[in-house]
Structure formats: structure tokens, C-alpha cells
Structure 1
Amino acid sequence: MTIAFGVLGEIQAHRDGIAVDLGPARQRCVLAALLVDLGRTVPVDGLVDRVWGDRPPQRVKATLYSYLSRLRQALGTAADPPLAGTTSIERRSGGYALVTAPGLVDMHVFRDLAGQARAAATHDDDDDGRAAALFERALGLWRDEPFAGVDTPWFNSLRESLLRELHACRLDRNDVQLRRGHHGALLTELTERHRSHPLDERLAAQYMLALYRSGRTADALRCFERVRRALAEELGSDPGPELRRLHQSVLAGDPAIDTPGGAPTAVPVAGGEAAPGSPKTRAPVVPRQLPAAPRWFTGRAPELALLDGLLDPHSEQDRAVVISAIDGSGGIGKTWLALHWAHQQQDRFPDGELYANLRGFDPTGEPVPPHTALRGFLGALGTDPSRIPAEPDAQTALYRSLTAGKRMLIVLDDARDTTQVVPLLPGSPTCTVLVTSRSLLTGLSTAHGARSLTLDVLTDSEAHQLLTRHLGTARAGAEPEAVATLLEHCAGLPLAISILAARATTNPDLPLAALAEELHETQTRLDALDTGDITADLRAVFASSYHALDPDSARGFALLGLAPGPDISLSATAGLTALPTARARALLRRLRAAHLVQEHTPGRYRMHDLTRLYAAEQARGNPAGDNDEALLRLVDFYVHTARAGEAILDPHAVPTEAEAPAEGSEPYTPDGPEAAMAWFESEYACVLAAQTSAMTRGWYGRAWQLAWSVDTFLWRRGRIHDHLVVWRSGLLAAERLGDPGARALAHRRVSAAHLRVGEDDTARDHLRRALTLFQDAGDLLNQGHTHQALAQAWQQTGDDRQALHHAERSLRIYRQLKDTVWEANASNTVGWFQARLGAYEQARARCQEALALCREVGYREGEAATLDSLGYTARRCGDLELALEHYGQALALRRLLNDTYEEANALSCIGETHHALGRYGHARDAWQQALTLYQAQQRTPEAENVQEQLDTLHDRG
């Protein structure tokens, strides 16, 4: 298990390619401060100075120790002593050190690669290719300015130093590439760098030389004049001797500064004998057909590394043509990635590059036939047009003959399918092929061994960097809220970001806030992403993919745009589309191959936000009744599957009545408690969204049912705020239905949610309303339940006597009804409050009675609650070992029930009991587990309390 660290951009870590949650910003700073001095001890005071500067908080050292402890947990480095060969944060005399391989920290890798490159560049010209490759690898590690977002004096100083190292590395790389004659590939970057550093004479010399070698002598001379004037005006000096000598050489057209390389030799004409009257030899042709490198290319470091691996000399490249197929949705940046990588690797392909835009999904025309692309390739390879065979198979054979043995790169952009690509594949294993497509080219992988690389959206930091590069740092920094809104609605799609940036840069007086405002309305958001040019219109990009679908897939795509949740399962898709499961699976497979949906986890599918907007537009073209019927089927799938799951999780609850599911909705019953919890875990966000959708359409009975059916899951998982939102909607739905029973139940459930967020008065008010409604209806059982809830509400205010009063009333009702389960529940509640009031013998007897009843009927949830009460009673009586035994049994049951909310409470109690016994290591383990659960459940007060206990333990050493 390898952890790689990055500081050349936002501070980050990846474990085997998966991002590690490093916690809040200051905690990341602690990590970065240790990474800079890798393996060396950083004193505690030094860490404080690096992370907080001259503004440390109170109890700064306790906070620092807390951050270090959390980092150990996040990185999995808590082993003591650390395992050999792993990353570890070591506590040493006077400070701390982070120990890992330097090759796992991008800053140290950058310095090492730059050093190797400079050493290679000082030997001879033969090493320039290796030096260039090393320089490019070093520069490719940079994602943004180092320690992005960190603002302390120490980090600011280090950032400036590293940026100077970056600039020097670029200058050294430029010298090497210019010696190799790669001035054309450098020219765009040199233009931008010279604008940013107009007084850097070395950079100016490189820029002048690239301009001169590109046939732009006048521009080179103008560059010199600009530098001369700027130096005179700002520094009062003249250009140095090196720049002056270059100026004279440009004026004189000195051959010494021409492009390196010898004269061309003659080669035979491809395709047989020369035509009558034509020469038998032609100038050698080294095609360089790549379009310009994308100016704003950003990020994609993992993808570039994967492509670099294609050229690994130890791979099986000598046995087969290396083919990489970059696939992904329209506008995701496939062409940008392919061209950026191709330009980086030009030195690997001395025999040239071929490029063809196959227009597989071009909104302005039909896909390019393979034989048309082939004729273009043959011409680029020097074949006389009159010698190109008419038959497509003969063209392919000639093409493969001409590329045999050559080290060439062939880029096939925007392929429609495998059939379009196969005739353009060379036969020689010395060639490399790069294909981009919106389709998943499975046939290319299975028949020709292509390596598939699926491109996803940009990360948040990459998206921000791309927009900032378009707009400029000053403009982006002036309206940070607008920039955040733009990026939120683009959702990492490079084309969308570039379209908005183009609108902003062509209208420099347009506030970014005005542009952001256009994106707020979902139904018109795609209009804001239209520049008026069909090649830069996001709707047109989506349309070209949509129109390539068969009718059934197009209908399914449109209906998926209506699904209210963040994603959708196979079963839910079957309900939405009224298709059998097998046909729904085939539909999703086709849409996934077209990159119109993603299978982000096995069996679950989602659309990019902007793709979904386009799909919803297509759905609006359907008859309104079709859409309503589809959505009703989907809502009923969630309603009835959730009801079945709730009945499994809480078998003692009285079931509620619901309308029969719509035909074709296909709900099902989970196979046991674990399967029910797993279903809710994956679907609860969709269930909440379905409830909102049901409320919007006036399906109030279904909205109430969804609140009822997700209640136990939300309670066990401690999703407090979701619980409150769901039951507020559930209460409103019950009121709209005019059903007193549903209203009463909703009042009681919403009170529990208010109680959990600390709104005691509101909770008791809802319970009083519920009790009145149940009394009016003569519903004795629910009166008992409401008294139980009132007991909990009074406990939260600290009035244990009022709580005991309501608990005893509920117990009398349950005994009158002869309901064993609820009698057990109430007996435990009575015992709990007796213990809180100091009546320990009575409490123990009442809880033992409750425990026997729970075990008699197999009521595990009640058994766990009663064991917790017995543990509390034992602690108050001073019998700590017995308390631990009870708490341990309660914890085992909570885990069996998948009740993480109460699991956290049990762990906290176990930690307190171990601490009282002086077993500090056991206390730390229990509290750390509890803290993780509290934080996941956003239970801030409980988390802060446990963190304080852990800090106290740390201070003990």
C-alpha cells in the first residue's frame, strides 16, 4: 500500500491512486511542513511557526498534537513502531519527522528529475533527448502554485523559492529543446512566459531564437527592441552581451543560429515507378500533422502517466502495435489530452506524426470514411496522388508498407466506432496509435489489444486552475463567489468551463456575477453555454451523441433525465422505463458505451449534471402523460421497496396502509436486515429526492409513506438533518392529506428529529399535538408511544422526574394492552430514569425485567438499549468491570443491527469506563472509534467532547 504526496498545487495524498482525506486546511499544513523536511526532525515550535505564523491559537500545542494524531489515522501510519518501508509520522526528541521515500513526494521528485536532466544536458547532444524527457517529467508534476491556498510567512517564502526553481527548470528545458530544433513546439509557451517575465533576458533570448527559426525575423527584432526599452525605463540598463550578440546574429542572418540538422536525402517515390515525366525520387517526408498543442491544457497527471507507460521500453511494444483508446463524453477533453501528450512525446517519434479528425460525432457533417483519411495519410507520407490505389484494401496495404519499421505516432481523433478505426491501424510494432472517441471501443480492445483510458471530469482544483488560466488571476480573484458558482454548474466539464471563459474574455466588462446568474435557472442553463458557434455549443455537442442513439436508447436516455436522485440503480431504471430488468441492463450498457451515463459504482448509474439537463430537455418533448407515468413508476419503486425494508428493520412497528404500486414499477423486498440496510445506504439520497418530487406533484400519500419508510434507517445512521427535513415534508404531506392519524404520527416523528438537533421546546410542542390527536382517536397504543417520546424529550431538558412520570404512564398502557415488546421498552425506560435519579436497586430490577422480556421475544434493539441502561447503573454503583461487560454486549448488538448512531454512544461509554479504570490505551482506542462515527454523523458537540478527552490523554503522554 503506497501513499504518494503532492504539494506542487493543493496539498494532497493518494493511497494507491485513491485520494486520502487529509482533514481541514491547518491539518494539511502540518503534513506539508513535515514533507518539506522529509526524514528530518522538525521541532514542535518550528511546526507551530510554519503552520500558524505569528497568529497561533490558544492551546496551540494541543491542537497540533490532535492534528498529528488525525494525520496518522488518515494515512494509516499509527503503527508503533512503524512498519518497515511504510510512511510514518515519528515522534522524536524535540519534535516530529515524516519518514517515507523521497520518490513519493512530488516536490522532491521534481528536484531530483531536474537535477538528472541538467546532468544529462551537460554531456553531449546525444543526451539531449533524455534530458528533455526528464525535464518534461519534472515540469509535469506541477498542478498549480505550491501549497495552494496556504498563507503563512514560512509557506509564502518557500512558495516563492519553489516558483523560482520552476522558472529555472523551464529555462533549462527550453535550451535543450532549442538545441534539438523543437522551437515550433515551444513557441506558444515562450510567448506566454515572455509576457509574464518581460525583463528576463535569458527567456527573451530563447523567445527571439524560436521566432527567428520559425521564419519570424521581424517579430524577433521587435522582441529585442521591447526588452531594450523596458530595461532602460525600469532598470536604467542595457541588454547584456549574450542578448546583444543574438540580436546581431538575427540581423545578419547568421547560419550559426539556424535550426540544427543536416541536408535532406532523397527517397524513392512511394507506390511504384514514377509517372512519366516526373522524378523518380522525392524529398524525404517527415509528416508533422499534429494541430497546435492546446493552450489552456490543465491537470490530467494520472492520465498522462498512464499514456507515458505505453512507451515503456520494457513493455511488449516490440510484439504489437501500441494502441491507446481515450474515451469519454463530449466536451470532457479527450482531444486536448491526446494532443498535449502527443506534443510532449514528439522526440519519441523521429519519423513524424499523422493526425486525422474522423468527425465521428461532428454536428456539422457525416463521419469521415476510412478511405478518405487513408488518402490523406498516404499523401502526407509522400505518395504521388496518381499512385494511390483505388481499392480501400490496397490503400491500407500501401499505408502499412510505408509505416513499416518507422517510429511514428498516429492520432485518430473523434472516432465513431471500431470499424472506422481498423483500416487506419499500421502493421508495424514501432508505431503508436492514439484514438479518441465518445464510444467505448470494445472491439478495438478485444481484437487489437487497445488499452482503454476513460476520461472523467476535472477535479475541483484542476477546474479552478483552468478557469483562472482563461480569465487571469486578477479577474478570477476579484469575484471568488461568482467563480465558485461558475465552476459548480460546470461540474468539471472542460468544454463548459472554456465556453464560459470565452464569453467572459470576449466581454471584458461583463461581471462574472452576471454570467453566474444566468446559470442559476436549470431550464435555461444550457443557453448560457452557447457562444453562437456550433463547435462551441454544449447543446450541439450533446445532440450529436443523442442523435447517434437507436430510438429505444434515446427514449431511455430522456427518461433518465427525469430521475430525481443523484444516481439510479438498475432496478429503479427498470421501474422508470417499464422495461424488464434484462432490457434495462442492456439499455444502460448502450448509454454507458456512448458515455451518456457512468456506472460510477457497480450497479449504479449517473449522468453529468449538464448531460442530465439535456436529457430532461428531450423528455419535455414527450407527451406530458408519458413523463408523469414514468416518474410515478419510479416513485412507487422507492415507496414500496422502502416500506418492505422498514418492515424488516422494525418488525414490531404497526404497518401503515399505502396505495398499490403503479404497474411496471417493479419494487422488491430486501433479503433480511443487512440487505435492507445496504439498500437504504445506497438509495436513501434517491428516496429523499423522490419525496421532494412527490410533494411537488401533489402525491402527498407517497411523500408521507417515504418519510415513514426511511425513518429507522435515518435514525440508526444518525443522519440528523436529513431526518428533520424528511419529517417536515412528511408532516406537511399529512396535513395536505387531511388524515388525523397520519398527522399524529408525523408530529411524533418530527418531534424526535427536533429533539436530536437540540430544539427541545419545539419537540415537546409536536408531542403534545400528537398526544391530543391520539387521545381524540382513542388510539391507546400510540398514546403509549407518545408518552415514551415525551420521556426522552424531558430527559434532554434535564428534568428526569417529568421524564420518569411519562415513562411510567407508557408502561401502564403497554401492560394494559399486553404488548410484550413495548412493555419491555417501557420497563427499560423506567429503569433508566430511576438510575439517573439514584434509585439504583429499583433501576437494576426494572432493567433486568426488561432484558428478560426482550430476550424472550428476540427484540434485539430493546436488548441493546437495556444493556446500555444496566451498564450505566453499574458505573454509577462503582462496579466498572460489570459496566464494561454490559457495554460490550450492547456494542456487539448495535453492530449486528448496523446502528452506527448508538454504536458511537456505546464506544464513548466504553472509553469513559476504561479511563476510570486507568486503562488509557483502551480508552484511546474506543474514543478514536467513537470520534470517527460522530464526525461522519456531523454530531459536532459529541465529537468535540471526545476530542477533548483524546487531547487530555495525549497530554499525559
Structure 2
Amino acid sequence: MSNRVEIDLLGPMRLRADGRTLDVTTGRLRALIAVLALSAGRTVTVAQLIEALWTAQLPASPRRSVQTYVTRLRTLFGADLIATSATGYVLHVDPDAVDVLRFQRLLERADGSADPVRQRAHLTEALALWRGRPFDDVESDWLAGTEAPRLAERYLGAQERRIALDLELGRPADLVPELRELTGTHPLREPAWALLLEALDRSGRRAEALVQYERVRARLSTDLGVEPGPRLQAVYARLLAHTPARRTPPTLRRAPRQLPADVPDFVGRDDALALLDHAAATSPVATVSGTAGVGKTTLAVHWAHRVSDRFRDGQLYVNLRGFDPDRPPVDPADAIRGFLDALRVPHELIPADTDGQAALYRSVLAGRRLLVLLDNARDARQARPLLPGSADCLTLVTSRDQLIGLTATAGARAVTLDLPPVTDARELLVRRIGVRAAAAPHVVDELVTLCARLPLALAVAAARVAEQPESLEYRVAELRAASGGLEAFAADDATIDLRSVFSWSYDGLSDPAARLFRLAGSAPGPDIGVAAAAALAGLDADTVRPLLGELTRAHLLTERRPGRYRAHDLLRAYAAELAQAGPAEPALALGRLLDHYLATALAASRPLRSDRETYEPVPPPTAGPEVAERITGADAARAWFAAERRTLLAAVDAAADRGYAVHAWQLAWALTIDLDWRGRWRDIARVNSSALLAVRLLDDAEPAAHLHRLLGRAYGYLDRYADAEAHLQRALRLYADRHDLVGQARTLRSLGVVKERTGRHQESLEHDLDALALFRRIGQPAGLAGALNAVGWGQAMLGNYQRTLEFAGQALEILRGLDDRLAEAATLDTLGFAHHQLGAHDRAVDCFERALDLLRELDGLYYEVVTLRKLADSHEAAGDTVVAAQVRRLAVAALDELGERGTERLRAELTASVTAERDEPPGRPGRQPASR
């Protein structure tokens, strides 16, 4: 491991660790190093890394691929240098150890110095860091298309500034060759030409300077169709007037300092602040947008104070009142006049017309370095006239609108502000309420939840408690009694009354968008997709998309992922209030939505079912295939379930609660097929338990049998063995009453799993043999193969490994004629386990790796972890301890991605194995996991 890493990116990549050169040949690993290094000490989100590493043709699981590359980088640099944050990764190296950051810091030092000699020294040191094109041998379209051009522009700007300082310090003739080379390389770069003309003029070569001016004027006209800009024209005018350019002593200017006061108890927002740092480094315009009350102005003002020292010529601020309830939005012309006053422009020089004032404003800012904060803009049209024309200025715009127009026309970098994490919301309350909050953490946590983590709601609640500190529990009870409503947040001041604050966004909506917002407030789940929103509203997808876009631009909905929309709980409460006051639509809308979810879930479950699953429920007529989203193939099915998983869990509960019993149990049945692939046993237990309560109203044994079986199987994996056996025995009786042999056989298989997990291996084998007998009687090949494999595993648990090879081998022969890759992977896993126990470790590794290939095709992450565990043990037993450790790390990383409770036993086994690597001699086999 290294304590000192140096990363050079201003040219071909160079890496050094403790003075030792590192060689990295993998292209994407080099890109990962570069992106993390550019934000050394700050979080780089996973989304940013994916954008930088893959412009197109994303891998099947980009996040897992990023994790893999990070793991490899930790091996290279040392695990202590790369930390994981809530949203991404942080490279902990000294910023001065990254040449790009050192270059930028030297430029900032030059900006902050009033001494021309020091300025020149900083610029010269910065320019000396360059060895060629930035990221010259790093493969990343994002770096090549965004970061490299930005750095190149800063390099040229720094070079021109250094030449300008040299010009002022004397010896203009010495600069002419350098400027000729610079203008030859960049023939359309006007600042370089202006410097060349001035150098020629000061060297007594005015005639040559006039010839060069005509040359660049003709080039600009031919190539760009424009005339020279103000600076070149000013030099030309001096040349014609025989007025030699000379150094003008600097004049003292009183810099405007208009920023509002910073919030003294600002909390968190580290990721948003890092994004603003990144945005400011890559564009002269940045935007902060977000829903009402999320803290946009607070963040912008705090960040502006943090970076104010970078802007030597001051800061300008205006509240544009884009969503003010009492006053109209500020006219951009009025804002410009206010800025010109702040910049101390004499009134007699200010033109009467708006266009002239805007042009003067841009001219005054040219060459200056100011921060301009445009707060609470209505839209891009209001903010656009206030943008400086100088790249040395930075404009930060806040708005409830997404300001897409500024992104498209001004290259603005957008930062969307979401709700703060729970830890930050809790800290905000503790700081504002004081000792009482710190002494009652459970009450504070409930208050955070009731305020939906919305900063404005938290501030209102904290202010009310602060008036009477003893009222903390009372205020929480008051909010709890409101059942998520907004009454407890009512206030005389419209700027902090949540209904009023939300209404300023809602009142600007079109009627169709307002209707969709009202309906979306009562939709189950944390978010909603386009097709589901269309079903909810009774519209087609093409009609609903612009309405979702309108709600997103107003930040009444947030598009957290492409095509997925959500609102926080207080906005949902506001929408529900509006829906109750309007037409009686919510009940009909819920029915349409549940029809859509059920029809699509059944369609998506089909390509994921193994050949053993021959049953499919008959949906209600209203949930026919015509209301389903189109699903083509297993990949599309997995993607749909992944996107809708949390919403479907809530939909099962909503269906059960509101009398849609058939929808509830059939949704649970279809959803379980997906959840099983991920090992999400708690979710399986939750939805089937909820559905089981609903179907008791149906007096129908068929769905009850299925739900008892699925619930019992989940309880078995959750180590709730008594509950598991009770449900499975109940399912067995219900299947027997219906003479359902397949149901009985599958239930016996699940009972076998439960008995095995409790160490009753002989009883487990007997259940599996009974299931095998039933499948032989039924004549179902897939079920027969699964039962043979289960019997083979049962024999292994009793130490009969040769018998395991016989039964699992028969299963594999049957499966070769079927397309049941999950069953084939399970059978190969069993064979691998038997070979391992018999000492044939190479054959075991081969079986496990073939099983993993199949599981990765299926995205069966839980089962992949189980097999990785065994593969690591086989490598270790064969003496490959290094490979075994790598495989275990992959398994732990996969468990982290799985993020599922209910896998504690598997995690404990892996952790114990990793610990044992330090204690056991190489080649000693560990205890194998008892899993199927």
C-alpha cells in the first residue's frame, strides 16, 4: 500500500506511488483514475463515473462494472486511498499530487495576487506542468470532449496572461516570436492577435502590426463571417491614431459584495457542493434547480461564500422573484440597471434602451472575474439577458424550473437538488433545536420522517419547537396526528406555509398536468413510470410524456432516473388534498393502475420462469394483455422488475388494503418469481403475507395454497423455521385437497430445504425422495431434473458424494434437452460441491465456473454469491489462496450490491472465510455452506 501517489494527466498519464512508477494498461481503469483524480478529496458519483467510462454500449450492470474497476484500483493504490461514500467514491490524495489540480490552484493564486511579479511566477509554474495534450492516452469520450477542451482553454488563457504581464514588464520584441507561433497555431484566437499587435507596436513596428491586423481581419471574415472584436478593434484604432500602447497603471475599483449572509448552521450537502465545484470548473454558467422548499437558495449562497475569494472583482446578487406570491418577477432590464449601479458605472454612460444596457453590462464585465448569483429565476428567458459574456465570470442561477434553455444555449452545468439524507436532516434539527433534540434522538428521527426531510418543513418545525423547547414531543404528536397532511405546517407567512409554497408551482400548471399531479399523489410506491402514469390517467404514453415533463420542470415531480418520476411525501400529501377536493377520480385511477401493473407483471414473469413452473393464474378481465406494457425477452423482463420493484411491493399492499384481492395475490405470485433471483426473502415474505390476508375474503383454496408455499419457502431462508414448516404443511394439505401433484411436489422440495437448513439432513432427503417420486409419476422433465438434483444434494449432506454425482449427473442429462439455465446452474453447483469433497478440485472449479457463466447470463445475483463462496473454497483447497481471496472479495462485493437483508448467514460465512485466510495454512479446506 502507498501513502504518496502522484498522478500526472497534462500529457500522457504518469503514475507514481512512493516514487515508484506504476504501469496501468487497461483503458477504463486509466479513465477511472483520471476522473477520480480530477476531484481528489471530493466524492465522484457513480453516475459521473459511468458517464466518463462509457459513452455508449453500457455493460449489462454498469454499477457492478464500476465496483470491479474500483476494486482493481484499490489493489493498485491501496484500499485506504479510495473511500466509498453514500453516492460514489473519493480518492484521498493531496490535490497538489495531481498536476491538473496543481495547475488550477496556481491559476487561482495568480488571480488572487495584486503583484504582477507574483502573478507571473504562478502562471509560469502552472504552464510548466504541461507535457502535451491533457489525457493524451486515456480513453474517455467525456474527458476528451469536456475536460480536455476546458483545460486547453485555461492553458491558452494563462499563456496569454503571462505574455501580457511580460509585455507590461518590458522587452516586447522578445515576445514577438512566441506570439507568432501562438497565432499560427490558433489563427482565430483574437486575444493572441491583440497581444501580437501590441508587441509589434511597442517594438516600433507599427506598419507590420497594421499588416497583421488586415491578415487576421480577413481570416475572421472568411472563416467565421465576423469582424474583429472590441479588443482587436481598439488596438487597431490606436495604431491608426499613432498612439503607442503603453502600460496603464492599475486603478482601484471598489468591488461589489452583494451576497446575502451565509446560513450559520448550514448542514451537509457535500455531494451537491462537490457537483457545484465541478460545474464551476467546467462552464461559466451553473444552475441549481429543485422542488419548493428543498434549500436551493441556502445551498447557492453557502457555496458562493465558500468560493468568493476566487473572484477578485466581487459578487453580484439579485432575487428575480420568479415564484413570489405577492410581487411580479423582476424585469431583466431592472436587474441589469441594478448591476450597473453596483459596478459604479456613471449614469450618464448608461444607454436608455434595454439592449444597449445589456451590451454595456457585458462590456463592463469583460476581463473581470465576478461571481453573479441569479436567485429564484422563473425560467431561462428571465435569466439569459443577465449572463456575462466573459468566460472569467461565473453565473449561478437557482430556480424551481429546470432551466433546460440555459443548458442548451449557454452550456450551463445543471445541479438538481434533492432531499437531504436522513443524517443531514437530523443534524439540522439538532443544531436548531439544541440540547433537547440531542437528548431525544428517537423523537428527532420521527420528526425527520414526518417532515419528509424537506428542509423548509424541517426549518418550520424546528422554529416552532425552538420557541418552546419543551414542546418537542408535542410537535411530533401534532404532525403524527395530521397523518402526513400539511395542516401542521400552516403559517401566517406565505413564504413558509407549505400549502402556499407548493401552490406557487401548482398554479402555473396546465389543466391536464394539474390533473395528473393530483392523481399521482395517491399512486402506490415511491415513483411511477411513463406507462404506469398513462394507465393512471387513462391516457396513452405519448400524451402523458409532455405532462410529466411539465411537472418535472416545475419540480412537482422529480425524474430521479430516466422515465421514473417521484414526489416527496409532503408533495404527495398536497396532491392528495387537491384530489379529494376535486372530481371523484382517485378510485377509478387506482383500478386502472393495478390492472396495468398486474398485466405487465404476469407478462414479465413468463420469460423468467423455469420449466418447472407450469402454473399461471388467470387475471381479472380488466387486467387483460391490452393494458400491459410490452415486454420482449428475459432481459427486458428483469429490467422492468428492477425499475418497478419497490412500486410493485407497495401496489400489493394497496390492492390488499382496498379490496382488490385477486390483483394482490397474482401480483405477489408474479413478483416472487423476480424476487427469488435476487434472494430478496424478506420482500417475498412481505408481499405473500399481505396477499394471503386478502385472499381469505375469496374463499378460494388455489391462491391460498400457492401463497402458503411461497411464504413458507421465504421463511425458511429467513431462518424462521417453525413458521416455514407451518405454512408449507398448510400448503401441502391444500394441494392434496385439490389433487395438485405438482404443487405437492414443489412444496415437498421446499420442506426439504427447511429441514436441511436446520441440520435434519435425513428428513430433508426423505422429502426430496417423495418429491422425486411425484415428479416421476407426473412425467414433467424439468421437475424431475430439479428433484434429482435435490436428492443429489441431500446425499451430499449425508456424505454420500458418489451418490450425489449419480443423481446430479442424471439431472444434467435431462436438462441438456431443456432451456432451464437456472436448474442447470444449480445442478453444476451440486456436482462441483461433490467433486470438491472428493478432492477433485480442478473438476469442482470447472463445474462452479460453468454454473457462474449461466447465472451471470440470468443476472441471478443471489445464487451467484452462493456459487462464488464454494468456488473460493475449491481454489483454496487446490492451493490457489490468492485466487480464492479474489473470488471471496467478488462475492462480498456482489452481496453489497444485492443489499438484501436475509443474507446474513451467507455474509457471515464469507466473512469467516476471509478471516480464516489469515489463520489457516494454504490448501486447508474450510467448511462448505449447506445451501442449495
TM-score by length of 2: 0.69
RMSD, aligned CA: 4.2
Cα separation, 1, equivalents of 2:93 and 2:367: 40
**Please, which of 715, 723, 726 is the counterpart of residue 684 of structure 2?**
723
Distance 1:468 1:408, change over 3 A: same
Distance 1:403 1:882, change over 3 A: closer
1:3, 1:87 within 8 Å by CA — same for their partners in 2? no
Please tell me the residue identity of whatever aligns with 1:577. A
- Find the counterpart in structure 1 of residue 723 from structure 2: 762
2:609 equivalent to 1:650: yes
1:678 CA displacement: 2.2
1:412 CA displacement: 3.0
Instruction: Specify the SS of the correspondent of 1:620.
Output: helix
Instruction: Specify the SS of the correspondent of 1:600.
Output: strand
- Find the counterpart in structure 1 of residue 511 from structure 2: 551
1:906 CA displacement: 1.6
1:898 CA displacement: 2.3
Cα deviation 1:239-280 (Å, max 9, x = unaligned): xxxxxxxxxxxxxxxxxxxxxxxxxxxxxxxxxxxxxxxxxx
Distance 1:297 1:943, change over 3 A: closer
Cα deviation 1:526-555 (Å, max 9, x = unaligned): 223334311111221111011111111111
Cα separation, 2, equivalents of 1:537 and 1:293: 23
- Find the counterpart in structure 2 of residue 493 from structure 1: 454
1:381 CA displacement: 6.4
- Find the counterpart in structure 1 of residue 586 from structure 2: 627
2:36, 2:91 within 8 Å by CA — same for their partners in 1? no
| Alignment size in residue pairs | 723
Cα deviation 1:476-534 (Å, max 9, x = unaligned): 32222222222334344322222122112222332x23222333356454223334311
Instruction: Specify the SS of the correspondent of 2:401.
Output: coil
Cα separation, 2, equivalents of 1:16 and 1:671: 32
- Find the counterpart in structure 2 of residue 606 from structure 1: 566
Equivalences for residues 897-936 of structure 1 within 5 A: 897-934=858-895, 936=899
Distance 1:104 1:819, change over 3 A: farther
2:835, 2:843 within 8 Å by CA — same for their partners in 1? yes
Please tell me the residue identity of whatever aligns with 1:886. C
Cα separation, 2, equivalents of 1:350 and 1:921: 55
**Please, which of 404, 411, 414 is the counterpart of residue 452 of structure 1?**
414
Please tell me the residue identity of whatever aligns with 2:593. L
- Find the counterpart in structure 2 of residue 153 from structure 1: none
Cα separation, 2, equivalents of 1:73 and 1:389: 58
- Find the counterpart in structure 1 of residue 377 from structure 2: 415
Instruction: Specify the SS of the correspondent of 2:581.
Output: coil
Distance 1:746 1:104, change over 3 A: farther
Please tell me the residue identity of whatever aligns with 2:589. A
Please tell me the residue identity of whatever aligns with 2:723. T
Instruction: Specify the SS of the correspondent of 1:536.
Output: coil
2:764 equivalent to 1:803: yes
Equivalences for residues 720-759 of structure 1 within 5 A: 720-759=681-720
Cα separation, 1, equivalents of 2:392 and 2:778: 85
Distance 1:392 1:697, change over 3 A: same
Distance 1:13 1:738, change over 3 A: farther
- Find the counterpart in structure 2 of residue 566 from structure 1: 526
**Structure 1 unaligned blocks of 5 or more:** 21-71, 91-97, 132-282, 317-321
Q: Kindly, what percent of the aligned residue pairs are identical?
A: 38
Cα separation, 1, equivalents of 2:694 and 2:438: 45
**Please, which of 886, 891, 900 is the counterpart of residue 937 of structure 1?**
900
Distance 1:493 1:19, change over 3 A: farther
- Find the counterpart in structure 2 of residue 163 from structure 1: none
2:788, 2:811 within 8 Å by CA — same for their partners in 1? yes
Please tell me the residue identity of whatever aligns with 2:908. E
- Find the counterpart in structure 1 of residue 663 from structure 2: 702
1:838 CA displacement: 4.7
Cα separation, 2, equivalents of 1:429 and 1:792: 67
1:310 CA displacement: 7.8
2:684, 2:710 within 8 Å by CA — same for their partners in 1? no
1:598, 1:607 within 8 Å by CA — same for their partners in 2? yes
Cα separation, 2, equivalents of 1:880 and 1:388: 86
- Find the counterpart in structure 2 of residue 366 from structure 1: 328
**Please, which of 444, 452, 470 is the counterpart of residue 432 of structure 2?**
470
Equivalences for residues 488-567 of structure 1 within 5 A: 488-510=449-471, 512-521=472-481, 523-567=483-527
Distance 1:642 1:766, change over 3 A: same
Cα separation, 1, equivalents of 2:525 and 2:464: 31
Cα separation, 2, equivalents of 1:817 and 1:17: 50
- Find the counterpart in structure 2 of residue 226 from structure 1: none
- Find the counterpart in structure 1 of residue 791 from structure 2: 830
2:259 equivalent to 1:297: no
1:286 CA displacement: 7.0
Please tell me the residue identity of whatever aligns with 2:701. P
**Please, which of 595, 601, 615 is the counterpart of residue 636 of structure 1?**
595
2:43 equivalent to 1:14: yes
Cα separation, 2, equivalents of 1:506 and 1:126: 56
Distance 1:391 1:100, change over 3 A: closer
Equivalences for residues 69-468 of structure 1 within 5 A: 76=70, 83=76, 86-89=77-80, 101-103=93-95, 289-301=258-270, 303-304=272-273, 322-343=284-305, 354-373=316-335, 376=338, 392-393=354-355, 396=358, 409-425=371-387, 432-468=394-430
- Find the counterpart in structure 1 of residue 6 from structure 2: none
Distance 1:398 1:740, change over 3 A: same
Please tell me the residue identity of whatever aligns with 2:744. Q
Cα deviation 1:18-45 (Å, max 9, x = unaligned): 799xxxxxxxxxxxxxxxxxxxxxxxxx
Equivalences for residues 669-708 of structure 1 within 5 A: 669-708=630-669
2:546 equivalent to 1:586: yes
- Find the counterpart in structure 1 of residue 225 from structure 2: none
Cα separation, 2, equivalents of 1:632 and 1:893: 39
Distance 1:827 1:291, change over 3 A: closer
Please tell me the residue identity of whatever aligns with 1:954. R
2:42, 2:274 within 8 Å by CA — same for their partners in 1? no
1:747, 1:767 within 8 Å by CA — same for their partners in 2? yes
Cα separation, 2, equivalents of 1:824 and 1:287: 80
Cα deviation 1:260-314 (Å, max 9, x = unaligned): xxxxxxxxxxxxxxxxxxxxxxx999765544344443444555566567877xx
Please tell me the residue identity of whatever aligns with 1:533. D
1:684 CA displacement: 1.3
**Please, which of 475, 480, 498 is the counterpart of residue 441 of structure 2?**
480
1:574, 1:665 within 8 Å by CA — same for their partners in 2? no
2:485, 2:574 within 8 Å by CA — same for their partners in 1? no
Please tell me the residue identity of whatever aligns with 1:937. E
Cα separation, 1, equivalents of 2:433 and 2:605: 52
TM-score by length of 1: 0.67
* Farther off after superposition, 639-648 or 910-919: 910-919
1:2, 1:15 within 8 Å by CA — same for their partners in 2? no
Instruction: Specify the SS of the correspondent of 1:414.
Output: strand
Cα deviation 1:357-390 (Å, max 9, x = unaligned): 2221112243234455456556666789999887
Distance 1:326 1:810, change over 3 A: closer
Distance 1:714 1:584, change over 3 A: same
Instruction: Specify the SS of the correspondent of 1:856.
Output: coil
**Please, which of 793, 799, 820 is the counterpart of residue 859 of structure 1?**
820
**Structure 2 unaligned blocks of 5 or more:** 1-31, 50-65, 82-89, 123-251, 922-932
Cα separation, 1, equivalents of 2:270 and 2:774: 67
Please tell me the residue identity of whatever aligns with 1:711. T
Cα separation, 2, equivalents of 1:941 and 1:635: 36
Cα deviation 1:578-603 (Å, max 9, x = unaligned): 22222222222222222222222222
